[in-house]
Amino acid sequence: MKKNITLIGVPMDLGQTRRGVDMGPSAIRYAGIVERLKDIEYNVLDFGDIEIARPGTIEETIETNLKNLEEVASASENLAQAVSDVIQEERFPLVLGGDHSIAIGSLAGISKHYENLGVIWYDAHGDLNTADTSPSGNIHGMPLAASLGIGHETLTRIGGYEQKVKPENIVIIGARSLDEGEKTLIKERGIKVYTMHEIDRIGMTKVMEETIEYLSGKTDGVHLSLDLDGLDPQDAPGVGTPVLGGISYRESHLAMEMLAESQLITSAEFVEVNPILDERNKTATVAVALMGSLFGEKLL
């Protein structure tokens, strides 16, 4: 991993309807991410926050069934450019969310620098919906589909090109809430998924060993997209769409530690921290602790 990291905050709450997740980047900074990374001898620059346009109300057009499409697309373009510039400077982009719709912009900015980008999607959800399959019209449930080039053209064409990642280069870890359309897409495209059943059955060590082996041979970079709702709500209560029976705090540390040892990760984002729904900034503190493990922090 590069020893130079640039933080990019994305105070986005328009990809869903529960307010408060726009304060996620501030909560993560307040929980000490800059100090944590500097303590393990990283050179850290804080880019600040991407500007988010604010609609007067939640907007949904009859034509698309997509809430706040224009605002999400605009922020995604700005984020894509910012992330691309960071990579151009040979620094590691660490994106702080914000809801998971921001991954559309992250991947658009990152993928253009790689021939075969891999993606680890650490999440309770698949985020593989489109306007046609989404029960809600919330774009935070669509970023992985959009990055595959599936969905509304406004989202799939962020960055000026369509497919950001190939289905065979994706691993979803921690899934336990999938819509019917997402299940169909996973089967049709052959996307590798470790549900909570697999994690319970074979253990996180085996899951991560297989993930690292699966991606290391065929990718030239790997992006980690970690949604805090991948963890069990007991450990990460401050998320917008909590799902019981999630990955434990300790299992998540192990996963990050194994990724650190693999030196596979070339960019990352941590999303869906909502301090309004949290308990004394617990979820942001967990996010910072996991980032510490991802970047090689050790007890001894």
pLDDT at 220 over 60: yes
- Tell me if 127 is assigned to some domain: yes
- Percentage above 70 pLDDT, the chain: 97
- For the whole model, what pTM was predicted? 0.97
Q: Which of 37, 61, 81, 66 is nearest to 141 (CA)?
A: 66
CATH number reported for the structural domain that contains residue 261 in this entry: 3.40.800.10
Strands ordered across the beta sheet of 92-97 = 43-49, 4-10, 92-97, 265-271, 221-227, 117-122, 170-175, 192-195
φ, ψ of residue 94 to 5 degrees: the values are -120, 110
pLDDT at 299: 84
Query: Has 232 been labeled as part of a binding site?
Result: no
Helices 69-88 and 103-111, axial angle in degrees (round to 10): 40
pLDDT at 57: 54
Average pLDDT over residues 171-196: 98
H or E element at residue 265: strand 265-271
Query: Has 127 been labeled as part of a binding site?
Result: yes
The pLDDT tens digits of the residues spanning 130-181 come to 999 998 999 999 999 999 999 999 999 999 999 999 999 999 999 999 999 9
Query: Has 227 been labeled as part of a binding site?
Result: yes
- Tell me if 299 is assigned to some domain: no
Q: Which of 67, 99, 97, 68 is nearest to 83 (CA)?
A: 97
- Tell me if 220 is assigned to some domain: yes
Query: Has 125 been labeled as part of a binding site?
Result: yes
Q: Which of 74, 73, 78, 71 is nearest to 8 (CA)?
A: 78
Range of the domain at 43: 4-294
pLDDT at 56: 59
pLDDT at 129 over 80: yes
Residue that has been written with the tokens 């984002």 in this structure: 269
Measured CA to CA in angstroms, residue 263 lies from 1, 266, 267, 296 at distances of 6, 8, 11, 9
pLDDT at 270 over 80: yes
- Tell me if 41 is assigned to some domain: yes
Average pLDDT over residues 177-198: 97
CA 203 from centre of chain = 22
Residue 96 contacts residue 29 (beta carbons within 8 Å): yes
- Tell me if 267 is assigned to some domain: yes
Q: Count how many domains the chain has.
A: 1
Is the N-terminal amide bond of 296 cis, ω within 30° of 0? no
Helix (H, G, I), strand (E, B) or coil at 212: helix
pLDDT at 55: 75
- Percentage above 90 pLDDT, the chain: 93
- For residue 215, what are its two tokens? 């991606």
Query: Has 100 been labeled as part of a binding site?
Result: yes
Query: Has 49 been labeled as part of a binding site?
Result: no
Q: Which residues are marked as active site?
A: 100, 123, 125, 127, 140, 227, 229, 272
pLDDT at 207: 98
The pLDDT tens digits of the residues spanning 38-96 come to 999 999 999 999 999 887 555 555 456 899 999 999 999 999 999 999 999 999 999 99
